Structure 1
Amino acid sequence: MRRNALVVCLAAVLPFGFVSAALAQSVPAPSADQPGDAGYTLKSSTLKAPAPSAQPANATSYELSGTSISGASSLTPTILTAPVYSAAPFKTESGLYLYPSLFTGVGYNNNLARTETNAVGSSFLTVAPQLVAEMKNKGDRYTVLAAVNSTSYNSSSDDNSTNGELTLAGDNYFSSRARMGWSLGHVNSSDPRGSTARANNTKPDNWHSTNANGTFIYGAPEASGRLEFDVGSQAKVYDSNRATTAAADVNITSLAGRVFYRLGTRSLALVELRNAKNAYVQSGSTASNTENRYYAGLTWDATAATTGIVKVGQMRKDFDTKLAGRDNFTGGSWEGTLRWAPLTYSVVDFQTSRATADASGVGNFLLTTGNDVVWNHKWTQSLTSRVSVGTLSTEFVGDAAARKDNANSYGLSLNYAVLRWLQLGVDLSGTDSSSNSANASFKRNVTMFTLNASL
């Protein structure tokens, strides 16, 4: 009922508008009209144009938070407000800017449920309208994001999904040193069949969540030091297939702190501490746990062509209930991203990580190691391409059969700007996932023709 109410509301709205010392230096509130560092952020998006590419990464219990990639740049276009890239917003008399956009995709998925045998394929249609409303006041910025993502399958209507998001956020600039971002949101979403290790139901696992996040930053861009603090809360409840999903209802609270110290004009050292509490709601659940991560690292802008951040350290997962076979875990962890831009119109991004994630049906928890390379190139003023390859290794720690999955994925997309506000494209993606567990391997290929429109 809650899901339907949100979809109806959005459908009604969218058509109408489609501890270091910090040196004091002037910090104007940055413009949010350009992508900036968002291209290589480690934070995940929610309901932007859907990525059909294959094996979804196992979501960590909480996202890497902060500005950009936790300090790769202190001057990012946004903190927690929604970024906008349209050059021609609709401006109301009250000073409210509206940025409507529409993504449409038509394609074919040859293995909807990610099964090893008897794969079900289907053509599909995805429609994803989005509206960002923006208000600026004396350097502060406020946004409301409303988005819907609806996908329907011609040969498998049980896999149809309609997801939605509504988020209010603000970026506040108190002085040349201090700034803060905050957000409050509600999301209706779903786990497609085969995307978790739970029993493969006949329909996706629908869920909803309420979220609150905050980030406080102290330190001017060129200061010798900078501090960042994050706080987050999420309540996630599954709405369908309750026989298998009730155990996954969870309340998550997270805290993080980072200290940066300038080593030179182009590099900073950092220390980061993160804590997340995953409290599972089902009576008698033994899955509740606390996760801590401790990192030291370096962020740099070595040349105009190379930027990046690398963090190496340890992670620890402690379960609230001590049972035989459910052991705590301590191990090495890392997060890193590197951007190489040899030409102004060609950019290569590399990301790597090793982290834990809560189990979704098999084992006590997951230990994932992922690597991704993405090349974006602009061939002409109108024609752009994106090529990606990635690997994801997932160990199901605590599983009696010691299950381990290895997935290789690829993606290729071409986009042509017919007009300033209209792009046509084609997207090819695939995954080859192998497993030592019976019937857990699969192959999947997706082809999609896309249309992106904005003002």
Structure 2
Amino acid sequence: MLILRYLLFTLCAAPFYLLAASSVAPSNMVDLGIEIIPTIAINYKHDDNVTNVKNNKQASNLVEIMPALRIQGEKYNNQFSLSYSAKQSLYSDNKASNYTDHKLQADVNRAMNSHHKLAISYQFERNHDAANTGISEGNDQATAPAIFYTQDITLNYRYGSQSSTLTFAPRLSVNNKRYDEGNSNYTPLADFNEYDYGLALYYRLAASVNLLVDISNKVTNYPGNSNAKDSINSLLYSGINWDISGKTQGSVKLGYEKINVTDNRRGSKTNPSWDIGIRWSPKTYSIFNIKASQKITNAITAADRIKENTGSVNWQHAWRYNVSTTLAYQHVNETYQYSAREDNSNSINIALSYQLRYWLTFGLSYEHETKSSSDVRLGYDNNIYGLTSRLVF
């Protein structure tokens, strides 16, 4: 029945393309430089471990419905975009796991002149933690996702042109997270407010190469934890970034991170830190993305701090003009600094995409995740197989 529902959704969505293709954009929209892009993705999948547990696994088929709308435009030196997307997952054999996520984002970029650039972004999300992750981690009886809300406002300013020897880039962001009190595992200890501010300085060595220094402070406040979990993370990086002939772009930042905690019993911690991101395109149709980082993060509910090491590789390759594949691998090591707990997670994602028409794409996907932990309650593995489709109107 569920695969039949998937096929019906795909067939029902097709007429919307015909309607959109026969429409003519209003002249005032064209004059303003506005483009409206609606899309919808409908996927049929099988998840062999819906609740992310080690024993007594539950498998289920599911349908994912993901509509999206993006409005973007450019006028004079202003670029702006407004986007909305949603994701509804419907499980045939475990309806308690059903969820609907929403995301709204607005961006404005303004180049006041060749030296002054300003970017403002706002994002709101209604998202979720899957069962036995996040606030329900370790509870193998949890079957429903935990809903939470986040807001993020980011302000980036840049002074300096492409030919400037020295460029200044101050930034400021404010974000918060709140869990829905209706969650069965609700705790206010996971809610927080965060204030992040910093400054990056770029020294131009050549047309495509810059030395950099990056300084930042992140102040985190937990209203439900009597301020005992509040912290200030300070980061100092130095490094290099580059963009050479479209073949390779990236940055390598190395430095130290120090965290000061309000709870004097836990004291401060200082760790080496790095943030590396490299994009390499040996051919126009083949792209590699390599990332590695080490940073200190806060545990979701406990007062622990986590030293998190992350490494990932992503390869996208177009075999023909309408056939492409994506292969991705990620490893995450989390060492809890005030306990003996250590977690290791590995994930593999494989996707095949076939563009039948310029407006219609079908594909196959496979996701594998495994997690091991010194806490025997927390290890699990799961596999998700999928048939995907996407329409662009």
TM-score by length of 2: 0.88
Residue 92 of structure 1 is matched in structure 2 by 26
Residue 363 of structure 2 corresponds to 425
* Alignment partner, residue 267 of structure 1: 209
Within 1, Cα distance between the matches of 2:275 and 2:335? 18
Displacement of 1:150: 1.0
1:373 match: secondary structure: strand
Secondary structure of the corresponding residue to residue 158 of structure 1:
helix
Work out which of the residue numbers 315, 319, 330 in structure 2 matches 1:375: 315
Matching residue of 2:100: 162
Residue number in structure 2 paired with 1:183: 121
C-alpha distance in 2 between matches for 1:142 and 1:89: 23
**Aligned counterparts, 1:73-88, within 5 A:** none
In the alignment, does 2:190 pair up with 1:252?
A: no
2:276 aligned with 1:342: no
1: distance between equivalents of 2:252 and 2:25? Answer: 41
Greater RCO between the two (CA within 8 Å, min separation 6)? 1
Deviation at 1:236, TM superposition (A): 1.6
CA contact 2:146–2:185 (8 Å) conserved in 1: no
Alpha carbons 1:227, 1:260 under 8 Å: kept? yes
Q: Aligned residue for 1:281?
A: 223
How far did residue 130 of structure 1 move?
Answer: 0.9
CA deviations on 1:293-325 (whole Å, 9 max, x unpaired) are 1100101235553322100001111112223xx
Q: Which runs of 5+ in 1 are unaligned?
A: 1-16, 19-86
The structure 2 residue matched to 1:398, chosen from 323, 326, 338, is 338
Percentage of pairs with the same residue: 20
Deviation at 1:243? 5.1
Instruction: Report the AA paired with residue 175 of structure 1.
Output: N
Aligned to 2:177: 236
Amino acid at match of 1:271: V
Q: Secondary structure at the match of 2:127?
A: strand
Secondary structure in 2 matching 1:282:
helix
| Alpha-carbon distance in 1 for matches of 2:35, 2:284 | 30
- C-alpha change, 1:248 and 1:300, in structure 2 (3 Å) is same
Q: Within 2, Cα distance between the matches of 1:396 and 1:448? A: 34
Q: Which amino acid aligns with 2:26?
A: T
- In structure 2, what residue type is equivalent to 1:258? A
Alpha-carbon deviations, 1:201-241, whole Å to 9, x = none? 33211111232111111111232222111111112211132
Q: Which has the higher strand share?
A: 2
Letter in 1 for 2:176: A
Deviation per CA, 1:380-427: give whole Å up to 9, x if none.
Answer: 01100011122111112212xx11111222111100000111111111
CA offsets per residue over residues 307-366 of structure 1, 9 Å max, x none?
Answer: 22100001111112223xx23211000010112222221111111011111102345121
Structure 2 residue identity aligned to 1:305: K
C-alpha distance in 1 between matches for 2:168 and 2:380: 45
Q: Which residue of 2 aligns with 1:45?
A: none
CA displacement at 1:180 relative to structure 2: 0.7
**2:227–2:262 Cα contact (<8 Å) kept:** no
Whose radius of gyration is greater, 1 or 2?
A: 2
Match of 1:334, SS state, is strand
SS at match of 1:301: strand
Deviation at 1:444, TM superposition (A): 1.0
Q: Contact conserved, 2:360 with 2:392, CA < 8 A, in 1?
A: yes
Match of 1:222 in 2: 163
Counterparts of 1:340 and 1:294, CA distance in 2: 26
Structure 2 CA distance for aligned equivalents of residues 140 and 89 of structure 1: 27
Aligned partner of 2:148 in structure 1 is 207
Displacement of 1:90: 7.0
**CA shift in 2, pair 1:88/1:437, >3 Å:** farther
Is residue 317 from structure 1 mapped to residue 241 from structure 2 by the alignment? no
Answer yes or no: is the 8 Å Cα contact 2:347–2:368 preserved in 1.
yes
- Structure 2, unmatched stretches of 5+, are 1-15
2 CA distance for matches of 1:357 and 1:98? 38
**Structure 1 residue 176 displacement after superposition:** 0.9
* Superposition map of 1:52-71 within 5 A: none
TM-score, normalised by the number of residues in structure 1: 0.76
Q: 1:138 to 1:304 in 2, by over 3 A?
A: closer
Partner of 1:106: 44
**In 1, are the aligned partners of 2:129 and 2:135 still within 8 Å (CA)?**
no
8 Å Cα contact 2:241-2:252 kept in structure 1: yes
Check whether the contact 2:51–2:143 (CA below 8 A) recurs between aligned residues. Answer: no
1:412 aligns with 2:354: no
1:14-53 correspondence runs (5 A): none
Q: What is the rounded CA distance, in whole Å, between the counterparts of 1:424 and 1:88 in structure 2?
A: 23
**SS of structure 2 residue aligned to 1:94:** helix
Question: What pairs with 1:428-443 in structure 2 (closer than 5 Å)?
Answer: 428-443=366-381
How far, CA to CA, are the matches of 1:368 and 1:274 in structure 2?
18
2:293 aligned with 1:353: yes
The answer to whether structure 1 residue 444 and structure 2 residue 382 are counterparts is: yes
8 Å CA contact retained: 1:363, 1:397: no
AA aligned opposite 2:215: L
CA distance in 2, matches of 1:88, 1:306: 41
Change (3 A) 1:303 1:161: same
